[in-house]
Amino acid sequence: MKYLAIILSIVIFLGCNKNTEPEQLEYKMYISSGNSTIAIGEQSEITLQILNIPQPVFGMSLQLDYDSSIIGINDSLGFSNGDFFGQNAIAFAKEEESKIYLSFSKVQGESPASGSGKICTITFTGITAGSSLVQFLYGEINYYDSAGEIIPMSNLNYESIEIIVQ
C-alpha cells in the first residue's frame, strides 16, 4: 500500500510539472506559389500571405522586387485582392521597372485586420529562360493603424520565392 501511494504521488507530481509556457507563434509574411517552375509563355500565380500578424493593422503598403526580363505581370489577370483586409478593402497595385507597389486599407469604421490570411494574388508569365527572385523590399513595408500612424513590426519574418522559367 505504501508503494502504491509513492507511485501515485510521483505520477501526480510529474503530471503537474508539465511545461506550461505558451507556444511560440510564428509571425511571417510570405509568398507562396502552386507552380514556381514554368515554361516560356506559361503563368505562375503567386500569393502574398500573412501568418499570425502580431498586432491588428488597418492598412499596409509594400514593394516587391523581381526580374522583369525573366517574368512579367499578366495584364489581364495580373492582380486580385485577398481576404485579409476583407471584402470592402481598398487596394492599389502598380508595376514599374521590376517593382510592384502595393497598398491595402480597410474602410474607415471597420475593425482592423488581424490573424492570418491572403493579402493578394499576382499572376506572372514566363518571358525568357532563367530565374527570378520575387522578394519583399524590407525598407519599403509599412503597417498602419486607423489614424494612419505607422505600426512597427520588428518581429515579423519575410519569405520570398524564386520563379524558374525553363
For range 110-133, the mean pLDDT: 94
DSSP the chain: -HHHHHHHHHHHHHHHTS--PPPPPP-EEEEEES--EE-TT-EEEEEEEEEEEEEEESEEEEEEE--TTTEEE-TTTSEEE-STT-TT-EEEEEEETTEEEEEEEPPTTSPPEEEEEEEEEEEEEE-SSEEEEEEE-GGG-EEE-TTSPEEP-TT-EEE-EEEEE-
Q: For cell 505558451, what's the residue? A: 22
Residue 157's CB is within 10 A of a number of other CB atoms, namely 11
pLDDT digits (tens, 9 = 90+) for 6-31: 444 444 444 555 555 445 678 898 89
pLDDT digits (tens, 9 = 90+) for 137-159: 988 999 999 999 999 887 788 99
Instruction: Report all structural domains of the chain as residue ranges with CATH numbers, in order of start.
Output: 26-165 (2.60.40.680)
Question: Given this model, what pLDDT does residue 76 score?
Answer: 62
pLDDT digits (tens, 9 = 90+) for 62-104: 999 999 999 998 766 678 899 999 989 999 999 998 999 999 9
Question: Given this model, what pLDDT does residue 71 score?
Answer: 96
Query: Has residue 58 got a pLDDT over 90?
Result: yes
